Structure 1
Amino acid sequence: MGCFRCTGESSKKSEHQNNNYSNKKNKPDDRAASGALKVNPNVNVKKQSDHDGKEQLESKDDQLALDVKGLNLKEISKDGRGDLAKKFTFDELAAVTGNFRSDCCLGEGGFGKVYKGHMEKINQNVAIKQLDLNGCQGIREFVVEVLTLSLVDHPNLVRLIGFCAEGDQRLLVYEYMPLGSLENHLHDLPPDREVLDWDMRMKIAAGAARGLEYLHDKMKPSVIYRDLKCSNILLGEGYHPKLSDFGLAKVGPSGDKTHVSTRVMGTYGYCAPDYAMTGQLTVKSDIYSFGVVLLELITGRKAIDHTKTAKEHNLVAWARPLFKDRKKFSQMVDPLLQGQYPVRGLYQALAIAAMCLQEQPNMRPVIGDVVTALNYLASQKYDPQIHPVQTSQRSPSPNARSDSDRRQIEGNGPDRETESD
C-alpha cells in the first residue's frame, strides 16, 4: 500500500470557513497523454483572417477554448446535450462574493479557495471555486471539470452552473450544497453536529453509488471518476448526496481495450492497489474507492488515520482480517451509532464493502449490482422495536472513537458470511 503515488493529506482549512465544504487534497497536474479526457478542442471556436492575412483564434468561450486547444485534448461526442456551462466575468463573481471576502470563504485546499455567494439573476446561492495559479492543481483539471460537468445530468452529481476563464483567472460556479461534505459529518465532529444515523448512512451510500453508475454505465463513452472519497461527496437538503470535483476524471477504455494507462493520481487510502502498482485504470478502480467510502460510513473511521496504532493506520488493512470472522463484525461499527443499527443490515453492508475491496479487480462487482444492493439496504429502515439496540460498554462522546467503545455482540445476522478475497 505504501507504493501508492497518490496525493497526501488535506491542506489546512481557512480560519474563516464554516466547515460546510471539506478540504481538498493537493493534486499535481496530470500531464499523462494516454487516457486523458478527450474533448473537442474546437468547441465554440472559429478562425478568422486578420488584416495581415494571418489566422487568429476567435473563441466564444475565450480562454477556456484556448486552454482546451493548448492541452491538445481530443474529441468526445456531446450527444446533442447543448453548449457548455454559462460563462461569467470575473467582475460578476467578485460582486456576488463581496470581492472574495474572507467571511464568504467556505474552505481551502490544493486548488485554492471556495466562496459562497448569491446570484441575483438566477436567485440562487452558489459555491465559487477559485483556482490558485500557484497551487498544485493546474489548468488541465479546470478544463476537464468544465467539460465533464457540461456533459452530465444526474441528481447525484453536483451541477456546474458556470465558469470564468478570463485572463489568468479560472473559477468554477456550482450549485451550493448547504450541508457541506460527507467528511464533515463523519469525521472529527464538533459537539453541536448530529451523528449520522444508520438509515442516513445507507441513503448516502446508495445515492453516491447511483452517481457513479451514471458515469460508468450511462455516459457514452464511460467516465472513470478516479477521485471518489468522502470529501468529494457533498450533501444537500435532506442529506441528499452528490459527487463533486471531476478534475481527475478520465474517459474509460473503448473498443477491445481493457484499461486506460495513465499516471497514478488520486488520494492515498482510496486508490485501488492494482491501479497504484500498474497505472492501468478501469471502472473497477472506482469500485475499490467506493468500497473504502462505504467502509468509512459503516465504521466512522478515516481511510488513513495516523492518530491510531500502526496496525490501524490504514482502514482497509485493519478491516480485511475482520471481514473473515462474522463474530467480529460488531467491532467494526461506528461507536457513535450507540448500537442503533440492524445486525442483518450491518452484515449485508459489510459484504458489499468486502466485495468492492477485493484485491483482484475482476472480482469486484459492477456498479449496477452495488446500486441494487444498496437501494435495498436504504429501503430497510432501522426500527428499534424490531431491531433491538445492540449493547455497548459505554456511550461514546461525540468526538471519541476508541477501541473501548466497540460493542461486543454475538452474531444474530444472516445465514451467510462475507469473504474478503
Structure 2
Amino acid sequence: MSRQYTEPDDSFRHPKKQIYSYSDVLKITNNFNTIVGKGGFGVVYLGYIDDTPVAVKMLSPSAVHGYQQFQAEVTLLVRVHHKNLTSLVGYCNEANHKALIYEYMANGNLHEHLSGNYSKSKFLSWEDRLRIALDAASGLEYLQNGCKPPIIHRDVKSTNILLNEHFQAKLSDFGLSKIIPTDGGSHVSTVVAGTLGYLDPHYSISSRLTEKSDVYSFGVVLLEIITNQAVIARNQEKGHISERVNSWIAKGDIKGIVDSGLEGDFDINSAWKAVEIAMACVSLIPNERPMMSVVVVELKEALATELARTKNNSGVNSRYSVESVNVNLDTEFMPLAR
C-alpha cells in the first residue's frame, strides 16, 4: 500500500498523521464493502490496515459545511491525545475524495445500547453506566483543562460517545469543535450549532459559546444514562428530559428517575449523586454549572459507592479499583430532595 507524505492541497497539511491516497482508501475498505454507519457528514465504512480494524468516514459531496468540518476535525485531532477521545489514524484529502480514518470502536455508540437498537446491544448495568459517564466526562475535562488553548466540543450527545471492545467510552465527531481564543476571553461568538435537546439554551439565545456549553450537553447525556428516556418527548407536557427529572426530584423518588429496566439494582446514594451532578450541569445559569474537573471527581465518588455495594458479589472490575475512585472531596452541589 502506497503511503504519501506529500499533500495535494498544500494549504491543508498535517504531517503528524498518516496521509492516505484514495487508492489506499479503496484497499483499506475493500472497495467500500461494509457500511457501519451513516450521518450528515457521509458514510462510515469498516476497513483494515495491517489486519487492524479501522473506521473510514467518507465526506459526502452534498454534506453542508462538510469540508469545513473535515478540516476542523483533522486540525483538532492531530493535537489532542487522550484515552477517552477517538484516535485519528490518518486522512485522505485527494481532489474530491475526503476521508477520515479512525480507530474502530467495536461496540457502536452509547445511544444504541440505551435504546437497544443495535445488533450487539448490551443491557448496561448501573456500574456500566457510571463507568461510561466517567469516561466521557474525563474526555471533556481533558479538552477543557488538558488542551492549551481549551477546546469546546459543541456537539456532545449520546450518539457521539463511542464504545470499544471493552466498553471504554470515547468522545467522537469533532467537526463542530471550537478553540477558545488565546486573548484572555472566556467565550467564542459563533453561529449556533449543535443538536436539539443537548444544546445549551444560553448559547442558543446569545451565540456565546463557552466551556459551560459542553457541561450542559454532558448533563443531558448523563440524564439519558440515568433514566434511559428520550431527551425530547414531544407528546408530554414536560418535553425536555431535565423537566421530567425535576418533577421526580420534587417527589423525592429516585426509583422513578432511574431506568426501570435496572429493577432497582443500584445503590440509592450513588444514583442520587449522579442525578445531582446531572441537574447541576443542566442549570439554565451557566455560572452555576460545575467545571468538568468537578464532575469527574463527583462521578468517581458515585462509582466508588456503587462498587462498594457490589464488590462482595462479583469482585472489582479491572478498569477501576474501589481505591482508585474512592475520593472524599467536598461536593459543590446542593443536595436535592431525598
Residue 319 of structure 1, aligned match among 245, 254, 271: 245
Q: Deviations over 1:75-126 (max 9, x none)?
A: xxxxxxx94311001111111212112xx10011111100001112xx3110
Residues 351-381 of structure 1 deviation map (CA, whole Å, 9 limit, x = unaligned): 0001101110000001110011112222331
Q: Which residue is 1:417 aligned to?
A: 335
* 1:271 and 2:199 aligned: yes
Unaligned stretches of 5+ residues in structure 2: 314-333
The answer to whether the aligner puts 1:236 opposite 2:164 as a matched pair is: yes
Residue 342 of structure 1 aligns with an amino acid whose one-letter code is: D
Change (3 A) 1:232 1:191: closer
Aligned to 2:48: 118
Greater relative CO (CA pairs within 8 A, separation 6+): 1
Question: Who is 1:213 aligned against?
Answer: 141
Q: Secondary structure at the match of 1:303?
A: coil
Paired position in structure 2 for 1:84 = 16
Q: Distance in 2 between matches of 1:377 and 1:92?
A: 46
Given that residues 133 and 222 in structure 2 are in contact (C-alpha distance below 8 angstroms), is that contact kept between their aligned partners in structure 1? Answer: yes
RMSD of aligned alpha carbons: 2.2
- 1:163 aligned counterpart, secondary structure: strand
Quick check: 2:149–2:180 contact (8 Å CA) kept in 1?
Answer: yes
Give 3-state SS (helix, strand or coil) of 1:113's partner.
strand
Could you tell me how far 1:329 is from its partner in structure 2? Answer: 2.5
Q: Larger C-alpha radius of gyration, 1 or 2?
A: 1
User: Could you say what secondary structure the match of 2:55 adopts?
Assistant: strand
CA contact (8 A) 2:156 2:214 kept: yes
Paired residues of 1:341 and 1:382 also in contact (CA < 8 A): no
Aligned mates of 1:94, 1:202 — CA distance in 2: 39
Corresponding position of 1:299: 227
Alpha carbons 1:298, 1:334 under 8 Å: kept:
yes
For residue 315 of structure 1, what is the amino acid of its counterpart? I
What do residues 222-258 of structure 1 show as CA deviations (whole Å, max 9, x unaligned)? 0001010000000012210000100000011434423
CA distance in 2, matches of 1:60, 1:275: 40
Asked if 1:177 is matched to 2:122, the reply is no
Q: How does 1:251-270 map to 2 (within 5 A)?
A: 251-270=179-198
Show the 5 A alignment for 1:91-102.
Answer: 91-101=23-33
Residue from 322, 327, 343 that aligns with 2:268: 343
Partners of 1:324 and 1:258 in 2: how far apart?
A: 34
From 236, 252, 258, give the equivalent of 1:310.
Answer: 236
Aligned positions of 1:102-251 closer than 5 A:
104-120=34-50, 123-189=51-117, 193-251=121-179
Residues 48-91 of structure 1 show CA distances to partners (whole Å, capped at 9, x for unaligned) of xxxxxxxxxxx93223x4358xxxxxxxxxxxxx9431100111
Deviation at 1:312, TM superposition (A): 4.4
Counterpart of 1:159, as a letter, is S
Question: 2:144 aligns to what SS in structure 1?
Answer: helix
Partner SS for 1:310: coil
- Equivalent-residue separation in structure 2 for 1:137 and 1:275 (angstroms): 20
Q: Quote how far apart the aligned CAs of 1:342 are.
A: 0.7
Residue 187 of structure 1, CA deviation: 1.4
Retained in 1: the 8 A contact 2:17–2:89? yes
Unpaired runs of 5+ residues, structure 1, are 1-58, 69-81, 388-415
Q: What amino acid is the match of 2:23?
A: D
Number of aligned residue pairs: 312
TM-score of the superposed pair, with normalisation by structure 1: 0.70
Percent sequence identity over aligned pairs: 36
